[in-house]
Chains A and B, each alone.
Chain A
Amino acid sequence: MNGIISLANITFKEGIRNRALFGIFIMALLAFALTVILTSLFMKDIVRVAASLSLTTISFSGLLMVIFIGTNLVSKDIDKRTIYMVISRPISRAEYIVGKFVGLCFLIIASITFLGIVSSLPVLITGLNYHNPQNIFSWGVYITALIFIAMKLMLIAGVIIFWSSITSTSFISLVLTIAVYIIGSPNEVVKGFLDMKMEGMNISPLMSAVIKIVYYVFPNLSAFDLKIQAANGISISAGYIAWTSVYWLFYTAIIVSAGALVMERREFP
């Protein structure tokens, strides 16, 4: 347990010191500043637009951070053979994987908290400047959406851990993680097409089976996307939050454990 915590700390510090993180943060800060200017292009629902742009910025920069810094942090050890130094220490390979994952989670929580606080400024400023009685924006939903973005990023961090334990180059795990993200974001919509059974749309049984497998095997990332609700102030039920959290917990635990298992069995040349 101590091994996991200290490895997590090292991973977190390494991530914070990464120059790419500064680049991503500067991009995010510029986007927040731009939000205030861009809202002037809209008519009435200004606060909605500000919240939508802010949350998109956070989600996008978080994604860049996890995918680029995350793959770098995890695969680098294997890529550069520094893993030999780690596995010669009194820490199991499974602990190594979990430690890396927890370190990434620390990085995600810290970044989303920082960006979340900064992102509230454009929303506050536009809210003060444009009063629209038909807007029911709520900070509670906004914060919930931020938490869900962090959860989604942690799940993706788990995916990175998994691919990094299988492949030996960081580039391949990066590409595979992006593939999971691209499949995971709309796969609920694709499954929806299948369920609708639209007339004139012929889906072969094989295709339908593939879609179903993809739906259950790949993460359903759209469940964590509450930007529409947060921007418009639509309340989210406690049941939704609870069940999505349980889903998240299981999926992340499975993917990290699978990564640990592969790592335990893996032979290093």
Chain B
Amino acid sequence: MRLQRLIVTLIALIVGYTLIFPSFERSRFPVKEAQARGLILPPPVVKLLALEFKTITADFLFSRASQYYGGRSSRPGVWTKSDYVWLYNNLLVITELDPYFEDPYYFGNAIFTWGAGAVNEADKLLEKGTNARTWDWQLPFFLGFNKFYFLHENKEGADDLLIAAKRPGSWEGLPMLAARLYSNTGRTENAIDFLEIFSKNEKNIKIKVNYEIRLDALRSILNIEKAVAAYRHKKGKLPKDLHVLVRSGILAEIPKDPYGGKFYLGNDGSVKTTSKLAPIIPNITNQNEKTDIKR
């Protein structure tokens, strides 16, 4: 009799537990949201508190940061400048705990460059990674690309490419690319070369597809640029618009912009598109909204 009563009580309690659980979970949500970012302590303090568990602390902080980013960036509008500041400070702590860890550099470069407009922060991380991971050619390669593509610092970018070229396993065309950057020629061709390597080395299919779309657009731009140059060489002046190139038989047809925009010629003869080449990583805040990250 006593045992039966005990079993009934236990079952009733379990049913009650199941019933209250959703409400409990709901009430946790705002608290969880508020705490999602979590505290960032200064790197020396974290180092002190981590005792001998520095690598696993770095692992934990990194997975927390990347999940926070993943959760927030999939909801447009909630991603703010302070999120970037938090992420950047997080990555600084992680790379202080384990300076050889590749993921924070790779992740930082991916989120701070395209669309985010915080190339300087990405570059600071990449520089730290280039110095620590002395065998890794990809980090100085990314650094070189950022300086060339976003900051228009060709000479500095070329310097980084030469650092990458000296490291094992690097692409054999790097010294050639660096030479072209030094001589300030072939901007579109250089961008294509960079992106081809990015795409080749990228395992993530989603990012790879984005690279391929951009490559497609850049190859079209290169085609038009060559046609413009040929027209100028032949007629001694710039074409009025792209249709002139088609009518004169230099360009077979006006290529389509894979981003859905239309190509046109600027006043200086440069090739432009109405889509302005949308950011390669989607869901990352408004492309035109510059985020200036300062600690």
Interface string of A59-76 (1 = CB under 8 A from B): 110000000000000000
Mark the stretch among B51-59, B176-184, B222-230, B252-260 that contacts chain A: B51-59
Interface string of A104-145 (1 = CB under 8 A from B): 000000000000000000000000000011111000000000
Contact among A42, A193, A231 for B55, CB-based, below 8 A: A231
Contact among A44, A186, A232 for B51, CB-based, below 8 A: A186
Question: Nearest Cβ in chain B — how far from A182, in angstroms?
Answer: 7
- Taking A56-B53, A186-B51, A189-B47 as contacts, is the C-beta distance between A228 and B103 under 8 angstroms? no
- Taking A185-B51, A232-B98 as contacts, is the C-beta distance between A53 and B66 under 8 angstroms? no
How distant is the Cα of A231 from the Cα of B137 in the complex, in angstroms?
19
Q: Which residues of B contact A264 (CB under 8 A)?
A: none
Interface string of B30-57 (1 = CB under 8 A from A): 0000000000000010011101111110
Contact among A45, A182, A228 for B102, CB-based, below 8 A: A45
- Taking A42-B103, A134-B102, A232-B100 as contacts, is the C-beta distance between A53 and B62 under 8 angstroms? no
Mark the stretch among A22-30, A203-211, A219-227, A239-247 that contacts chain B: A219-227
Contacting pair A42 B44 (CB below 8 A): no
Q: Is B106 close to A, CB under 8 A?
A: yes
Q: Is A48 close to B, CB under 8 A?
A: yes
Contacting pair B56 A52 (CB below 8 A): yes
Question: Nearest Cβ in chain B — how far from A207, in angstroms?
Answer: 16
Contacting pair A186 B48 (CB below 8 A): yes
Contacting pair B56 A53 (CB below 8 A): yes
Question: Nearest Cβ in chain B — how far from A150, in angstroms?
Answer: 14
Q: Which residues of A contact B203 (CB under 8 A)?
A: 44
Q: Which residues of A contact B123 (CB under 8 A)?
A: none
Q: Is A94 close to B, CB under 8 A?
A: no
Closest-by-CB residue of A relative to B57 is A56
Q: Which residues of B contact A254 (CB under 8 A)?
A: none
Tally B residues with Cβ within 8 Å of A: 31
Q: Which residues of A contact B133 (CB under 8 A)?
A: 134
| Chain A binding surface SS class | helix
Q: Which residues of A contact B49 (CB under 8 A)?
A: 186
Closest-by-CB residue of B relative to A55 is B55
Tally A residues with Cβ within 8 Å of B: 33
Q: Is A49 close to B, CB under 8 A?
A: yes
Interface string of B103-145 (1 = CB under 8 A from A): 1001100000000000000000000000001011110000000
Q: Is A176 close to B, CB under 8 A?
A: no
Closest-by-CB residue of B relative to A135 is B102
Q: Which residues of A contact B270 (CB under 8 A)?
A: none
Contacting pair A228 B67 (CB below 8 A): no
Closest-by-CB residue of A relative to B136 is A134
Closest-by-CB residue of B relative to A152 is B52
Contacting pair B47 A133 (CB below 8 A): no
Q: Is A190 close to B, CB under 8 A?
A: yes
Interface positions, chain B 191-233, Cβ under 8 Å from A, are 203-204
Q: Is B169 close to A, CB under 8 A?
A: yes
Q: Which residues of B contact A232 (CB under 8 A)?
A: 98, 100-101
Interface positions, chain A 167-194, Cβ under 8 Å from B, are 182, 185-186, 189-190, 193
| Given A45-B101, A52-B98, A190-B48: 10 more A-B contacts, CB < 8 Å | A42-B62, A42-B63, A44-B106, A48-B100, A56-B53, A56-B55, A136-B135, A182-B51, A228-B55, A231-B55
Q: Which residues of B contact A (CB under 8 A)?
A: 44, 47-49, 51-56, 58-59, 62-63, 66-67, 98, 100-103, 106-107, 133, 135-138, 169, 203-204
Name 22 A/B residue pairs within 8 A (Cβ), A-sorted: A38-B63, A42-B63, A42-B66, A42-B103, A43-B106, A44-B103, A44-B106, A45-B101, A45-B102, A48-B102, A49-B59, A53-B56, A53-B59, A55-B55, A59-B53, A132-B102, A182-B51, A185-B51, A186-B47, A222-B52, A225-B54, A231-B100
